[in-house]
Copies of this chain bind each other. A is one copy, B any other.
Amino acid sequence: MGNQSVTIKDVAKAAGVSITTVSRYINKRYESMSVETRERIEKVIEELNYQPNKMAQGLKGQTRTIAVVVVNLGYPFAVSVIRSISSVLSEMGYALLVGESADDTEQEAQLLQSLISQGVDGIIIQTSGQNNELLERIAAEKPVVLIDRQFDVPGAANVITNNQEASRELTERLFQQGYQHVVFVSEEPSNLSTRVERLDGYLAACRAASIPSDVRWVLREDPVSIAALAKDLQSQPPKKPFAVYTANGLVMLELYPKLTHLRYSIPNEMGIATFDEPDWVHVTRPRLTCVRQPTDEMGITAAQTVLRRLTDRPAQVAKPGQVGLVRATNPDSDTKAHPKNRFGERTENQTTVIPSEVIWGDSSSLR
């Protein structure tokens, strides 16, 4: 059976029509076509196993391809979001391209350029935040959705979770459980909204409980920094019982083995909790307490937002004028749109917040 080298011309010839008609068929403009013609083309396409060439399509209008760029493919959060996006897109006949930036400015920029030149119609990205100018430029031409980490990129939408609230809630409940002290462990300070907000939530809970906060910074993939923290916890014990709460699952993955080596009994002397829901939660005994991020809804919302903006757009290239106001459809979501003024044209910025859920394990339940 046929392969890639079957072109629209072959279909046209075999069906005895012009390539225009076939093109119309491909683009589902059935109104301008007799039923017979339509069925004939359908049959021929089937027989020849014809597949429109996306490069040729892209050279004109759209590719029907969306790209998603994540920081780290080894992060269950990322994979989960990607799958969710993929399911929405494939249902709508869109293809998905996946890329990884390693949180590296240069790599991210290159990846974006490459995807653009590849002709993707829209981009969903968990960004390093170091290429906001580039993203803004891209957003001026095609839909851009920032996921997980919020940034104020004109023209781009944001889909995030309520990091601050979830973090505060988790910390509060640790205190309610009876922990006298909660050590918050995070990667080195940055302007990443996720880090800032999770820290803020923790600090707010400490303040509310009138318990001194205790923040420790570590470097991932640096055994020394992790080991030092563990040693500290042993040599200068916090007020007991205390809990250790990491700002994300990757930090916990590295820290956990060290924690279990400390001479504290879990959960009665030391509770353990983390933001994220690592796939290995059930491996730990007692079971890890964690924060499940709404990866499915985030992916769905991100995908829908891109698609909606693709549709609403007056043309494939944003014409000066209106870019339709977009609003969230998710009932749980909290949307705030703030209009931007740029190059004299109106654009809508939009943020959708989808709440996380604390999954209480027994590694942080005093008994």
Residues of A within 8 A of B (CB): 3-5, 51-56, 58-59, 63, 65, 73-74, 76, 79, 82-83, 86, 90, 95-100, 107, 110-111, 113-114, 116-119, 137-138, 141, 253, 256-257, 260, 278-280, 282-285, 317
The distance from the CB of A295 to the nearest CB of chain B, in whole angstroms, is 12
| Top-8 shortest CB links A-B | A280-B280, A98-B98, A55-B55, A55-B58, A257-B282, A95-B114, A54-B117, A55-B119
CB-based contact B138/A65 at 8 Å: no
Task: Identify 10 new A-B residue pairs, CB closer than 8 A, beyond the known A53-B59, A55-B63, A82-B100.
Answer: A3-B141, A5-B141, A53-B119, A54-B55, A54-B114, A54-B119, A55-B59, A96-B99, A118-B118, A253-B280
Q: Which residue of B lies closest to A86 (CB)?
A: B100
Q: Which residues of B contact A278 (CB under 8 A)?
A: 280
Contacts A54-B118, A283-B253 given: A79-B86 contact, CB under 8 Å?
Answer: no
Q: Which residues of B contact A113 (CB under 8 A)?
A: 51
CB-based contact A283/B285 at 8 Å: no
Q: Which residues of B contact A5 (CB under 8 A)?
A: 141, 317
The distance from the CB of A345 to the nearest CB of chain B, in whole angstroms, is 16
Contacting residue for A141 out of B4, B54, B96, CB 8 A:
B4
Contacting residue for A55 out of B96, B118, B257, B282, CB 8 A:
B118
Q: Which residues of B contact A253 (CB under 8 A)?
A: 279-280, 283
Most buried by B among A99, A114, A253: A114
The distance from the CB of A273 to the nearest CB of chain B, in whole angstroms, is 15
The distance from the CB of A101 to the nearest CB of chain B, in whole angstroms, is 11
Cα A3 to Cα B117 in complex, Å, equals 10
What are 18 of the A-B contact pairs (CB < 8 Å)?
A4-B141, A5-B141, A52-B117, A54-B119, A55-B118, A65-B114, A73-B73, A73-B79, A74-B279, A83-B100, A95-B114, A97-B98, A97-B99, A98-B98, A253-B279, A253-B280, A278-B280, A280-B280
